[in-house]
């Protein structure tokens, strides 16, 4: 029976290929995700391993927080002299070098006056001396290392992008205005020419210390060992010399720790993209199920003949499963190969989203092949089980009957009960995941995922009852255009179960897209309202990406521009308070209330004027969590572990959505106190009020004042609100692109169904042609039938997506998220459904119109 099944499959090559394509795309997404993230991880591993390849031990500052705005804690230069005198030390070098430090920024300026690199990616400024030899984490490709205050070495990627060469002059802005430097060399990280969209400016150590405000301090001290001294022995010698603010690790351990955050990030990308691969495979399972069910129904006489010749039910069932296995294996192999190309496409998509990451040679691990093939085969086999069971119901007597059909299954009468049960259970799982208080743990997230998938299955089971009335309603406009439209409507109504299962695949994609669009509209609207409520300045000055710190001198330059009546800068930093990592702001008490609205729970704007050097105001939510009241004293621990004490003098609240996208942190102290408590303070915002309000003339004057600061971005309040909320829009666009994959899979499902329907109705089409239907009318009929099916998918998917978005919005209502229906986008999604129907009908309509009448009349 296995050989019979495979020969039969080989005889239906087109159908087999169309069926396989539904799984190919899902598997390609999975394999492409693994290839992309493995390649990125490999590139970073090469970078970090290469950076410490000749380093036995690394001394760094000990940080108490994650992602400090001022960068990682530094090491006093006095430690270097002590380490150099140890018996096991061959050489020690103090460096300004930290790939995880966002504060060591050095923007390289291209010939067009714009920063090099990809917008939003890091811009590093390093300090490395020419004499450090093998301890240098970078490799010189051309020229020599910088050795003076007016010299710089740039990375190979930036040199290529800006067409710079050794000896050229280049602009660089390092925590201040742009200055000119002469390029003395071009360097790489081992075999990796660039850090993706990042740029690197390498100065000598003393110059970098001065530019970055780190005089007398280093980011790290790299140490090489004498012959015969192991890295562990060297670490043991160094540890007793270190202050409590410094730690020492072996070079290999430092490389692993440095890559840890990157590994977590690539894992997030991996899981994020795999989720969409899973959605595509889920949709593909619907397509496989539908296609095999149709082919089983069309092969009733063939299967009955096998039963007549002695094949048992078990053998028939096995033959169908063998077909499913063969299709799954073929699809998985094709998807695996396609995934290599898709990985490049995903990389390009990330670049378009300003996430251009470094890539080395393509990495293809055995795990990628195993997981991809297993997923494709297992999903196909699961989708084949029901059709295989149905095939065993074919009675042998059907072999001698023309037009014999499959008898209803044993559980057919209970289909409605099962649909209600599955839907009810799925809603319960969704309710648990969304509305149970507490942190969104793994079980809750799994509950939500299973609930959504189960809800799709429940609606798909119910859809067969809705397909006939929906086809009747949606097909009426087509019926007015003649016999082709009337027949198309009747064809869609003839087999509601098939129409429903075909539409269900498209329903899933449209439901997810609609949910994202509806939820996104509510998020964007809520975010904009919260931002407008808080900020009342005419202008806002931030870094280009709005998140990185900005030089304080940029704020000073803007405040000195003509027409500025008030300027208020805000600095911020991560700190530990009451065993909780929070953001602490440094505000200007005399001016902040004029540009930022505090909604006071206890206190008033006058409270800000009494902050002094030891006062603080705190956010209500944080105060409630830690049971802090006015008059209590709190201890703030900065990233270097140094402590400062403050008295709570006021408590304020924010708009509910402000908890999700806060403008200010949980604790605010005076800027005077902030600059004392935190090293290397920089601005997060500079709020400006101007005479007569924002105008083109004032904007031009402010831009002129900030011209020397390429990382500074000036925006009116409305522009800033729009830009700040654009992050949600970019995420939505990314989700649309990824969810489009499931719509493409459903498109293949519709093509499948229509092709099989044409095969099934060959004699019927021949009769229609014989009685006078033209080829054009046949094509029109198939197209109309496809559009009706697609519209049924939209009629099911759009309300379901809106319902899911409403559930999520209700769960987030406590955070100020509002519910809003994106009417214009919904119309667009209906147009997408109609377009999908038209595309799906192209090949089947062409084949149907080209059938030879006599051959069609003889077809069985």
Q: Are 75 and 238 in contact (CB under 8 A)?
A: no
Highest mean predicted confidence (pLDDT) among 3-12, 234-243, 277-286, 445-454 = 234-243
Residue 168 forms part of a structural domain: yes
Q: Please say which residue of 224, 240, 256 terminates a domain.
A: 224
Residues 679 and 609 in one domain: yes
What average pLDDT does the segment 335-344 reach? 86
Give the pLDDT band of residue 571 (cuts 50, 70, 90): very high
Q: Which of 804, 793, 790, 797 is nearest to 834 (CA)?
A: 790
Residue-wise pLDDT for 21-45, tens only, equals 778 888 888 898 888 888 888 877 7
Q: Which of 260, 95, 267, 116 is nearest to 198 (CA)?
A: 116
Residues 493 and 592 in one domain: no
Helix boundaries (H) for 52-138:
78-84
Highest mean predicted confidence (pLDDT) among 401-405, 506-510, 647-651 = 647-651
Is the model's pLDDT at 346 over the cut of 90?
Answer: no
Quick one: pLDDT at residue 385? 82
Residues 404 and 481 in one domain: no
Q: Which of 572, 574, 611, 576 is nearest to 591 (CA)?
A: 611
Give the pLDDT band of residue 388 (cuts 50, 70, 90): confident
End-to-end CA distance of the chain: 23
Q: Please say which residue of 410, 431, 461 terminates a domain.
A: 410
Residues 756 and 650 in one domain: no
Q: Which of 753, 857, 723 is nearest to 294 (CA)?
A: 753
Residues 273 and 403 in one domain: yes
Q: Which of 217, 222, 416, 392 is nearest to 304 (CA)?
A: 392
Is the model's pLDDT at 119 over the cut of 80?
Answer: no
More confident residue, 233 or 321: 233
d(CA 224, CA 222): 7
3-state secondary structure of 644: strand
602: domain range?
549-710
Which helix (H) or strand (E) element contains residue 433?
Answer: helix 415-435
Quick one: pLDDT at residue 628? 93
Six token digits for residue 661: 């996208």
Quick one: pLDDT at residue 340? 86
d(CA 737, CA 729): 12
Residue 340 forms part of a structural domain: yes
d(CA 724, CA 731): 13
What average pLDDT does the segment 784-795 reach? 89
Is the model's pLDDT at 194 over the cut of 90?
Answer: no
Residues 303 and 387 in one domain: yes
Half-sphere exposure of 264 (CA within 13 A, CB side): 5
Is the model's pLDDT at 5 over the cut of 80?
Answer: no
List strand residue ranges (DSSP E) for 29-104, in order: 57-61, 75-76, 89-95
For every residue of 599-659, DSSP letters joined together read: EEEE--HHHHTT-TTTEEEEEHHHHHHHT--TT-EEEEE-TTS-EEEEEEEEEEE--GGGG
Is the model's pLDDT at 629 over the cut of 70?
Answer: yes
Is the model's pLDDT at 469 over the cut of 80?
Answer: yes
Longest Cα–Cα distance of the chain, Å, equals 103
Q: Which of 660, 524, 669 is nearest to 584 (CA)?
A: 669
Is the model's pLDDT at 8 over the cut of 70?
Answer: no
Provide the Cα torsion 658, 664, 666, 670; round to 10°.
Answer: -150
Residue-wise pLDDT for 728-777, tens only, equals 777 777 788 778 877 788 777 777 777 777 766 677 777 777 878 888 88
Q: Which of 781, 788, 768, 770 is nearest to 846 (CA)?
A: 781
Residues 394 and 521 in one domain: no
Quick one: pLDDT at residue 381? 86
Residue position matching structure tokens 């229609």: 768
Quick one: pLDDT at residue 400? 52
Quick one: pLDDT at residue 354? 60
Helix boundaries (H) for 181-312:
205-212, 231-238, 251-298, 300-308
Is the model's pLDDT at 626 over the cut of 60?
Answer: yes
Give the pLDDT band of residue 64 (cuts 50, 70, 90): confident
Interacting residues of 682 by C-beta distance below 8 A, sequence separation 6+: 69, 70, 103, 175, 549, 550, 551, 552, 571
Give the dihedral sign, CA 411/509/18/362: negative
Six token digits for residue 608: 């800000």
User: For helices 823-849 and 496-534, what crossing angle results, to 10°?
Assistant: 150
For every residue of 713-732, DSSP letters joined together read: EEEEHHHHHHHHHHHHHHHH
Domains contained in the chain, number: 4
**pLDDT, averaged across the chain:** 84
Residue 680 forms part of a structural domain: yes
Six token digits for residue 107: 């923007």
Residue 283 forms part of a structural domain: yes
Quick one: pLDDT at residue 69? 74
Give the pLDDT band of residue 440 (cuts 50, 70, 90): low
Q: Are 729 and 264 in contact (CB under 8 A)?
A: no
Burial of 17 (0-12, 13-18, 19+ CB in 10 A): middle
Between 73-87, 111-125, 300-314, 802-816, the lowest mean confidence (pLDDT) is in: 300-314
Residue position matching structure tokens 């029901």: 386
d(CA 468, CA 451): 27
Q: Are 249 and 238 in contact (CB under 8 A)?
A: no
Quick one: pLDDT at residue 689? 95
Which helix (H) or strand (E) element contains residue 214?
Answer: none
Quick one: pLDDT at residue 458? 86
Residue 242 forms part of a structural domain: no
Is the model's pLDDT at 292 over the cut of 70?
Answer: yes
Give the dihedral sign, CA 326/328/332/338: positive
CB atoms within 10 A of CB 420: 13
Quick one: pLDDT at residue 850? 79
Q: Please say which residue of 158, 189, 224 terminates a domain.
A: 224
d(CA 277, CA 31): 9
d(CA 658, CA 352): 28
CA distances from 497 to 37, 213, 346, 823 (A): 41, 71, 37, 30
Residues 344 and 311 in one domain: yes
CA distances from 138 to 187, 195, 456, 780 (A): 6, 12, 53, 66
Q: Are 636 and 575 in contact (CB under 8 A)?
A: yes
Highest mean predicted confidence (pLDDT) among 253-267, 396-410, 569-583 = 569-583
Residues 704 and 731 in one domain: no
Is the model's pLDDT at 860 over the cut of 60?
Answer: no
Residues 204 and 317 in one domain: no
d(CA 748, CA 178): 55
User: For helices 251-298 and 442-479, what crossing angle results, to 10°?
Assistant: 40
d(CA 317, CA 393): 10
Taking each continuous run of H as one helix and of E as one strand, the counts in the chain are 25, 23
* Model confidence pTM above 0.85: no
Quick one: pLDDT at residue 410? 61
For every residue of 434-448, DSSP letters joined together read: HHSSS---HHHHHHH
CB atoms within 10 A of CB 825: 18
Residues 279 and 377 in one domain: yes
Between 363-377, 493-507, 535-549, 639-653, the lowest mean confidence (pLDDT) is in: 493-507
Between 376-385, 399-408, 522-531, 771-780, the lowest mean confidence (pLDDT) is in: 399-408
Six token digits for residue 225: 């060992």
Is the model's pLDDT at 2 over the cut of 90?
Answer: no
Quick one: pLDDT at residue 4? 56
For every residue of 522-553, DSSP letters joined together read: HHHHHHHHHHHHHB--SEEEEETTSSS-B-HH
Six token digits for residue 606: 């006058």
Is the model's pLDDT at 577 over the cut of 80?
Answer: yes
Percent of the chain beyond pLDDT 70? Answer: 89
Residue 401 forms part of a structural domain: yes
Is the model's pLDDT at 541 over the cut of 70?
Answer: yes
Quick one: pLDDT at residue 396? 66
Residue 313 forms part of a structural domain: yes
Residues 389 and 452 in one domain: no
Six token digits for residue 785: 């039938």
Interacting residues of 310 by C-beta distance below 8 A, sequence separation 6+: none
Residue 747 forms part of a structural domain: yes
The sheet with strand 220-225 has its strands ordered as: 89-95, 220-225, 57-61, 246-250
């Amino acid at each position: 029976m296995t050989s019979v099944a495979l020969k039969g499959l080989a005889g239906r090559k087109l159908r087999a290929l169309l069926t396989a394509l539904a799984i190919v795309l899902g598997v390609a997404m999975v394999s492409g995700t693994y290839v992309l993230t493995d390649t990125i991880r490999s590139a970073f591993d090469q970078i970090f391993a290469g950076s410490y390849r000749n380093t036995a031990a690394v001394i760094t500052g000990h940080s108490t927080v994650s992602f400090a705005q001022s960068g990682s804690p530094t090491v006093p230069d006095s430690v270097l002299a002590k380490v150099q005198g140890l018996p096991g030390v061959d050489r020690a070098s103090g460096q300004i070098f930290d790939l995880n430090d966002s504060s060591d920024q050095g923007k390289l300026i291209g010939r067009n006056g714009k920063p090099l690199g990809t917008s939003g990616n890091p811009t590093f400024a390093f300090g490395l001396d020419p004499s450090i030899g093998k301890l240098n984490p970078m490799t010189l490709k051309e020229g020599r290392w910088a050795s003076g205050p007016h010299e710089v070495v740039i990375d190979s990627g930036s040199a290529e992008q800006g067409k710079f060469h050794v000896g050229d002059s280049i602009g660089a802005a390092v925590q201040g205005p742009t200055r000119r430097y002469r390029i003395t060399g071009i360097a790489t990280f081992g075999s990796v020419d660039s850090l993706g969209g990042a740029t690197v400016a390498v100065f000598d150590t003393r110059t970098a210390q001065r530019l970055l405000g780190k005089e007398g301090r280093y980011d790290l001290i790299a140490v090489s060992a004498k012959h015969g001294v192991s890295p562990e022995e060297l670490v043991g010698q160094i540890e007793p010399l270190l202050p409590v603010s410094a730690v020492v690790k072996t070079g290999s351990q430092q490389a692993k720790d440095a890559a840890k955050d990157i590994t977590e990030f690539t894992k997030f990308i991996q899981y994020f993209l795999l989720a969409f691969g899973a959605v595509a495979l889920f949709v593909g399972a619907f397509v496989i199920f539908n296609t095999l069910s149709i082919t089983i129904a069309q092969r009733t006489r063939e299967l009955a003949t096998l039963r007549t010749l002695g094949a048992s039910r078990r053998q028939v069932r096995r033959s169908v499963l063998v077909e499913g296995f063969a299709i799954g294996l073929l699809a998985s192999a094709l998807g695996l190969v396609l995934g290599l190309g898709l990985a490049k496409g995903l990389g390009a998509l990330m670049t378009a989203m300003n996430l251009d990451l470094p890539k080395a040679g393509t990495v293809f691990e055995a795990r990628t092949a195993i997981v991809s093939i297993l997923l494709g085969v297992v999903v196909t086999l699961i989708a084949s089980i029901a059709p295989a069971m149905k095939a065993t119901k074919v009675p042998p007597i059907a072999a001698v009957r023309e037009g014999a059909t499959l008898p209803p299954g044993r559980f057919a009468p209970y289909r409605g009960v099962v649909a209600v049960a599955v839907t009810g259970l799925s809603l319960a799982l969704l309710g648990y995941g969304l509305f149970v208080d507490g942190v969104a743990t793994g079980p809750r997230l799994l509950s939500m995922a299973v609930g959504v998938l189960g809800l799709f299955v429940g609606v798909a089971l119910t859809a067969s009852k809705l397909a006939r009335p929906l086809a009747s309603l949606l097909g009426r406009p087509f019926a007015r255009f003649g016999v082709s439209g009337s027949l198309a409507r009747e064809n869609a109504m003839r087999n509601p179960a098939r129409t429903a299962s075909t539409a269900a695949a498209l329903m899933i994609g449209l439901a997810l897209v609609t949910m994202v669009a509806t939820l996104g509209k509510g998020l964007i609207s809520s975010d904009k309202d919260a931002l407008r409520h808080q900020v009342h300045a005419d202008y806002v000055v931030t870094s280009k990406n709005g998140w990185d710190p900005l030089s304080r001198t940029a704020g000073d330059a803007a405040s000195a521009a003509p027409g500025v009546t008030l300027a208020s800068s805000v600095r911020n930093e991560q700190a530990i308070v009451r065993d909780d990592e929070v953001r602490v702001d440094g505000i200007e008490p005399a001016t902040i209330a004029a540009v930022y609205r505090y909604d006071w729970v206890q206190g008033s704007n006058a409270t800000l004027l009494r902050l002094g050097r030891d006062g603080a105001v705190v956010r209500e939510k944080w105060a409630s969590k830690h049971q802090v009241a006015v008059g209590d004293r709190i201890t703030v621990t900065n990233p270097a572990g140094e402590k400062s004490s403050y008295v709570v003098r006021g408590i304020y609240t924010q708009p509910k959505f402000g908890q999700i996208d806060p403008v200010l942190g949980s604790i605010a102290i005076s800027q005077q106190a902030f600059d004392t408590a935190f090293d290397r303070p920089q601005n997060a915002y500079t709020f400006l009020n101007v005479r007569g309000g924002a105008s083109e003339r004032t904007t031009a004057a402010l831009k002129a004042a900030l011209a020397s600061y390429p990382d500074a971005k000036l925006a009116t309040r409305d522009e800033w609100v729009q830009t700040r909320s654009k992050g949600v829009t970019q995420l939505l666009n990314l989700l649309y692109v990824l969810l489009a994959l499931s719509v493409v899979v459903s498109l293949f499902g519709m093509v499948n169904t229509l092709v099989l329907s044409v095969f099934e109705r060959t004699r019927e089409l021949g009769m229609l042609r014989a009685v006078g239907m033209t080829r054009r009318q046949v094509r029109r009929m198939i197209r109309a039938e496809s559009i009706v099916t697609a519209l049924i998918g939209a009629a099911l998917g759009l309300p379901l997506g809106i319902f899911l978005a409403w559930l999520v919005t209700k769960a987030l209502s406590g955070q100020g998220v509002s519910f809003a229906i994106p009417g214009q986008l919904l119309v667009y999604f209906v147009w997408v459904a109609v377009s999908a129907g038209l595309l799906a009908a192209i090949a089947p309509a062409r084949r149907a119109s080209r059938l030879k009448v006599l051959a069609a009349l003889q077809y069985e």
